[in-house]
Amino acid sequence: MASKSPVNRTAQPYEYRRRELVEPDWTRFPGWRTVSAQEWSSAQWQRSHCVKSAKQLHDVLGDLVPEEFYADLARDQQDHATMSMLLPPQMLNTMLTDVTTSSSIFTDPVRRYMLPVASDRLALWPSHPRASRDSLHEHDMWVAEGLTHRYPTKVLAELVSTCPQYCGHCTRMDLVGTSTPSVTKLKLAGKPVDRYAAMLDYLRAHPQIRDVVVSGGDVANVPWRQLESFLTHLLEIESIRDIRLATKALMGLPQHWLQPDVLEGMHRVAVRARRQGVSLAVHTHVNSVNSLTPAVAAAAKALLEAGVRDVRNQGVLLRGVNDSPGQLLDLSFALLDEAMITPYYLYMCDMIPASEHWRLPLSRAQELQHAIMGYLPGFATPRIVCDVPFVGKRWVHQAESYDPVRGISTWTKNYRTSIETSDDPGAGDYVYYDPIDTLPTAGQRWWGDQIESGRAS
Ligand code: SF4
């Protein structure tokens, strides 16, 4: 009788392996050869040594990267960038962790989205014809300056329009950061004290709102006293049951969240929240496993010890950064196992100008969601969502219809936002568009015809 050939029952598409986090040695960069551990751990030192130009980057990296890279970067800042350059040393230090060739900088996943260069952008379709500056129409849904009321029970409070770091793909490129040669930013007109008072008045007058995302920008740029005062007022409103603080700085500038006075303040707020049965959580934004270091894990754990109920990650799905199942699972396991951060959402990149080289088609997002199922605990399996203009977050498998040739998906919703007058929340289809360069030839030709006949925008 023929014997059965042995079957390898352990081989899986993804092999889980626990990896210890490592803080890359910053003294490998010529400009930081003499920087001490004490300086590095200071939030003040980190803020005052942020890299803001190609020249400053040159001063740090020197000839570790080719000259053509600096020229490429300067060209992007001048001609294309929607966000100005602002990179804390902590974040720059998570690039080039494995310098094997002089061109590694071009393919580095953190560099790809934090330091975009002109040669990254697509020559033929750099922007989708339906892209827009405030692609989620958050500004249209402001009920007080900076307060977006989109969902029935939740609001987004933008306390500040700056961050300690600027991401190339920022969805709030309309408002966040300083102006670039290509984009003149909107400005928040009111004084913070008046704006915060107007937000709180709206929340007091609308008890159906139970959940406030306190964001920006990044709450790490709100002076702690002001932030604590705002949170304390929020906790005085009985209808508020969930408060979520949005800060990418937990990863980009963990030194901020490790400052004793900030942790003491967070403890005061967390104790009060817990006493009242209110969930206080921190949401951060990590896109690549390379960004997770012991300092980031220490900051997340310190916030949990201060009494925050959960620290969760909301990453963005980006081409060339985290667009494979292995990259997403490596990131998710590192967040969960090494930093006690819950992988929560992965957003499809929004349809802002000059972002096509980062965006992925819906079909790829659906494949990725399928590929990462079953490895992580259910509560920590990130949901890949499309933030559909005028609708909100929808799981990528919830599209009502999808034409993968033209890259057009339609979506519906079951509630009204603050700007709709129709009584029927489902009235009308809401649309998301795939990046055109990823479409088959017939789809690209169709979009070319639309543009030529003036029907594309
Ligand atoms: S941290 Fe968030 S708000 Fe700030 S630039 Fe990055 S994506 Fe935009």
Same-domain check for residues 208 and 296: yes
Task: Report which listed range, 10-14, 152-156, 412-416, is most confident.
Answer: 152-156
pLDDT of residue 454: 83
Residue 252 CA: which ligand 1 atom is closest? 1
Q: Is residue 208 located within the same domain as residue 304?
A: yes
Determine the atom of ligand 1 nearest the C-alpha atom of 217: 3
Residue 47's pLDDT is 98
In a domain, 91, yes or no: yes
**DSSP states of 169-214:** T-TTTTTSS---SS-PPP---S-HHHHHHHHHHHHHH-TT--EEEE
- Best of 163, 291, 346 for a ligand 1 pocket test (most atoms within 8 Å of beta carbon): 163
Q: Encode pLDDT of 330-368 as tens digits.
A: 999 999 999 999 999 999 999 999 999 999 999 999 999
In a domain, 19, yes or no: no
Counted domains in the chain: 2
Which of 348, 377, 394 corresponds to the end of one domain?
A: 394
Q: What's the confidence (pLDDT) of residue 400? A: 95
Which of 356, 371, 394 marks a domain boundary? 394
Atom of ligand 1 nearest to the CA of 162: 4
The residue to mutate among 113, 169, 176, having the most atoms of ligand 1 within 8 angstroms of its beta carbon, is 176
Distance in Å, CA 432 to ligand 1 centroid: 22
217 lines ligand 1 (CB under 6 A): yes
62/145 same-domain check? no
Smallest CA separation from ligand 1 atom 8, residue? 170
**Ligand 1 mean position to 169 CA, how many Å?**
8
Tell me if residue 28 falls in helix, strand or coil: helix
Query: Are 276 and 224 members of one domain?
Result: yes
**pLDDT at res. 9:** 65
The reply to whether 90 and 194 lie within a common domain is no
Same domain, 266 and 309: yes
How much of the chain, in percent, has pLDDT values that exceed 70? Answer: 95
Does the pLDDT value for residue 437 go beyond 90? yes
**Which ligand 1 atom lies nearest to the CA of residue 163?**
4
* Ligand 1 contact via 163 beta carbon (within 6 Å): yes
- How far apart CA 435 and CA 363 sit, in angstroms, is 11
Structure tokens at 287: 């896109």
Asked whether residue 75 falls in the same domain as residue 161, the answer is no
Q: Is residue 5 part of a domain?
A: no
- Domain check: are 230 and 87 in the same one? no
User: 220: CA distance to ligand 1 center in Å?
Assistant: 11
For residues 150 and 265, membership in a common domain is answered with yes
Nearest Cα residue to atom 5 of ligand 1: 166
Q: Is residue 451 part of a domain?
A: no
Q: Is the pLDDT of residue 59 over 90?
A: yes
Which mutation among 179, 285, 347 tests ligand 1's pocket best, with the greatest number of atoms within 8 A of CB?
A: 285
Give pLDDT, residue 99.
Answer: 65
pLDDT value of residue 423: 65
Average pLDDT, stretch 35-51? 98
Q: At which of 394, 423, 447 does a domain end?
A: 394
Q: Is 81 in the pocket of ligand 1 (CB under 6 A)?
A: no
175 and 34 in a single domain? The answer is no
**Ligand 1 within 6 A of CB of 365:** no
Residues 103 and 210 occupy one common structural domain? no
pTM of the model: 0.95
Q: How far is the CA of 60 from the centre of ligand 1 (A)?
A: 23
Residues 108 and 110: their CA atoms lie apart, in Å, by 6
Q: Please name the residue whose Cα sits nearest to atom 6 of ligand 1.
A: 167
**pLDDT given at position 428:** 66
Task: Note the pLDDT of residue 420.
Answer: 72
pLDDT of residue 456: 79
Q: Is residue 270 part of a domain?
A: yes
Residue 170 CB less than 6 A away from ligand 1: yes
Average pLDDT, the chain: 94
CATH of the domain at 206: 3.20.20.70
Containing structural domain, residue 359: 139-394
Q: How many CB atoms neighbour CB 86 within 10 A?
A: 20
Q: What is the mean pLDDT of residues 145-153?
A: 95
What average pLDDT does this structure show over 11-23?
A: 94
The residue count of the chain comes to 457
Is the distance from the beta carbon of residue 185 to the nearest atom of ligand 1 less than 6 Å? Answer: no
Tell me if 7 is assigned to some domain.
no
Per-residue pLDDT, averaged over 68-84, amounts to 97
**Is there a domain that residue 309 lies in?**
yes
Reported confidence tier of residue 4, pLDDT bands at 50, 70, 90: low
406 part of a folded domain:
no
Measured CA distances, 94 to 18, 87, 215, 385 (Å) = 19, 11, 24, 26
Q: Give the pair of three-digit tokens for residue 12.
A: 């899986």
44 and 156: one domain? no
Asked if 215 and 158 touch (Cβ cutoff 8 Å), the reply is yes
- What are the tens digits of pLDDT across the range 222-280? 999 999 999 999 999 999 999 999 999 999 999 999 999 999 999 999 999 999 999 99
Q: Are the CB atoms for 171 and 136 separated by under 8 Å?
A: yes
Torsion angle of the four alpha carbons 320, 325, 330, 334, in this order, in degrees rounded to the nearest 10: 100
Do 318 and 347 contact (CB within 8 A), yes or no? Answer: no
